Amino acid sequence: MTGDGGRGMSAAGRLEVYTDGQCPMCRWTRTHVEPLDRDGRIEWLDYHDPATLRRAAPHTHKQLADEMHVRLPDGSWHRGYRAWIEVLRVLPRWRALTGVLSVWPLTTLGPVAYRQIAKRRYAIFGIPPPCDDAGVCSLHTK
């Protein structure tokens, strides 16, 4: 057994987690998850950084803004609810929870709840979303 829940991830393999570095909820979450990552398996990246955005190709800024993205060491991508499952998978004390979160009805309800929270992540903290380079200041206008 590899000690990684059977995922075949090497000990040196790291998740690249693409989040909104301007979002108070995202920063709060990172602050609370980072100490749990005792093995340094997670690399937190702010998609507002142009170098990070290039690294996240083929995903666009808007796609990254819509929901968190994670790239696994094997190069595969997950987003939203599924991305959080991958984050939990590398945290020793939380790994067991991934089995529960990966079965129905949570595989149906989890993504819906995730999208609703992601859409309102600035409003939850009572802060307006940041403006983009074109001066557009509304997140998720659709």
pLDDT at 23 over 60: yes
Q: Around 42, how many Cα atoms within 13 Å sit in the side-chain half-sphere?
A: 27
Domain of 99 in residue numbering reads as 15-125
Q: Which of 59, 128, 40 is nearest to 68 (CA)?
A: 59
Q: Which of 81, 75, 136 is nearest to 110 (CA)?
A: 81
- 9 within domain boundaries: no
pTM score: 0.82
- Residues 85, 98 contacting (CB under 8 angstroms): yes
- 63 within domain boundaries: yes
- 133 within domain boundaries: no
- 30 within domain boundaries: yes
- 118 within domain boundaries: yes
Paired tokens of 7: 């995922």
Q: Which amino acid is at 138?
A: S
Per-residue model confidence as pLDDT tens digits over 37-60 = 999 999 999 999 999 999 999 999
- Measured over the CA atoms of residue 108, residue 92, residue 40 and residue 5, the dihedral's sign is negative
Query: How many domains is the chain partitioned into structurally?
Result: 1
- H helices of the chain, in order, are 24-33, 50-55, 61-66, 80-89, 97-101, 106-119
